[in-house]
Amino acid sequence: MSMRVSIAALAGAALIAGSAAAQTPPVVTKMPYLAPAHAAKLHVHVDGIKYGHPIPATYAFCAPAPQGHVAAAPDKSPRIAWSKGPAGTKSYAVFVYDTDSPAEHREWMNQEGQRLTASVKRKIFFHMVVVDVPATATALPEGEESDARVLHGKAAPAKIGVHGANSFTQAFAANEAMKGTYYGYDGPCSPWNDDNTHHYHFAVFALSVPSLGLTGDFDGTAALAAMKGKVLAEGQFLGLYSTNPAVIAKLPK
Rounded Cα distance, 127 and 130, in Å: 10
Rounded Cα distance, 176 and 151, in Å: 11
For domain 7-248, give the CATH number: 3.90.280.10
Whether this prediction's pTM lies above 0.75 is answered by: yes
Rounded Cα distance, 202 and 212, in Å: 20
Instruction: Label residue 245 exposed, middle or buried (CB < 10 Å: 0-12, 13-18, 19+).
Output: exposed
Rounded Cα distance, 59 and 51, in Å: 15
pLDDT of residue 157: 76
**R_g over Cα of the chain:** 17
The parts of the chain modelled with pLDDT lower than 70 are 1-26
8 Å CB contact between 131 and 162: yes
Q: What pLDDT digit, counting tens, does each position of 55-109 carry?
A: 999 999 999 999 999 999 999 999 999 999 999 999 999 999 999 999 999 999 9
8 Å CB contact between 187 and 78: no
* Measured CA distances, 217 to 163, 169, 213, 242 (Å): 8, 9, 13, 28
pLDDT of residue 27: 76
pLDDT of residue 182: 97
Buried b (16+ CB within 10 A) or exposed e, 195-222: ebbbebbbbbbbbebeebebeeebbbbb
DSSP state of 197: P
| Sheet (strand 198-207) strand order | 53-54, 231-241, 198-207, 91-102, 122-134, 162-163
H/E stretch holding 63: strand 62-64
pLDDT of residue 38: 87
pLDDT of residue 145: 94
Q: By three-state DSSP, how is residue 150 classified?
A: strand
What are the structural domain ranges in the chain?
7-248
pLDDT of residue 21: 34
pLDDT of residue 130: 97
pLDDT of residue 15: 46
Rounded Cα distance, 4 and 252, in Å: 30
> Which residue, among 138, 63, 55, 50, has the nearest Cα to 94 in the 3D structure?
138
pLDDT of residue 25: 59
Q: By three-state DSSP, how is residue 140 classified?
A: strand
